[in-house]
Amino acid sequence: MNAPASHLDALIDALRRLPGVGVKSAQRMAYHLLQHDRASAQRLASALQAAAEHVQHCRRCHGLSETPLCGICADPERDARQLCVVEGPADLAALERTGSYRGLYFVLKGRLSPLDGVGARDIGATELLERAADGQVQEVILATSFTAEGEATAHVLAQALKARGLQVTRLARGVPAGSELEYVDLSTIAHALVDRR
């Protein structure tokens, strides 16, 4: 029979579940918080508890919000004719930080991954199609990542949205500002040439 996990082991296991955090990093974080910064450990615990209790999904865009309708969806100044589709709340936040988009959003529950058994229904495609068919949306901007899964997600969603008569666009991609061509990967250069303006 296994002995019950200690509180320290439970903390390390919880930290390890964060994206990009392995066992060693989780151990370093746990040891640091408990040995050198107990006040931050308490603040972190309190903030996590409060967020888990109060942050929910917006009923319209599925982003994160402390109210049933998030501030973006509730803002009458936003352009309801444009709907930007992102893979997750972090992507929405990144687009908002640019200050260049004034439309509305729809947040998917990730991206398609057939090898992991994640299909269109699992990511919220049905809800997206309903949202896009509200009579106000004229353009759906697909802002999924440029990974194989993100591209597949954009392709499947574009086909379904176009079948409903909606204008569908995709984020442009190309050479990053400030980069030197010799260090840019070939796929990015190829897409930049195709999408040139």
pLDDT digits (tens, 9 = 90+) for 87-136: 999 999 999 999 999 999 999 999 998 888 888 899 999 999 999 999 99
For residues 155 and 130, is the Cβ–Cβ distance under 8 A? no
Quickly tell me which residue has 């899964």 as its tokens.
149
- Quick one: 189 exposed, middle or buried, by C-beta within 10 A (0-12, 13-18, 19+)? middle
Closest residue by Cα to residue 25 from 37, 13, 35: 13
Contact assessment for residue 71 and residue 60, using Cβ atoms and an 8 Å cutoff: no
* Same-domain check for residues 43 and 101: no
pTM of the model: 0.83
Q: Domain total for the chain? A: 2
The enclosing domain of 33 has a CATH number of 1.10.8.420
Q: Please indicate, yes or no, if residue 39 is contained in any of the structural domains.
A: yes
My answer on whether 49 and 111 are in the same domain is: no
Asked if 48 and 85 sit in the same domain, the reply is no
22 and 83 co-located in one domain: no
Full domain range(s) for residue 42? 7-54
Q: CA-to-CA distance for 113 and 110, rounded, in angstroms?
A: 9
CATH number at residue 156: 3.40.1360.10
Q: What number of other Cβ atoms are within 10 A of residue 197's Cβ? A: 4
pLDDT string in tens for the chain (197-residue length): 455 569 999 999 999 999 999 999 999 999 999 999 899 999 999 999 999 999 999 999 999 999 999 999 999 999 999 999 999 999 999 999 999 999 999 999 999 988 888 888 999 999 999 999 999 999 999 999 988 899 999 999 999 999 999 999 998 888 778 887 778 778 878 877 777 66
Lookup: tokens for 14: 């919880």
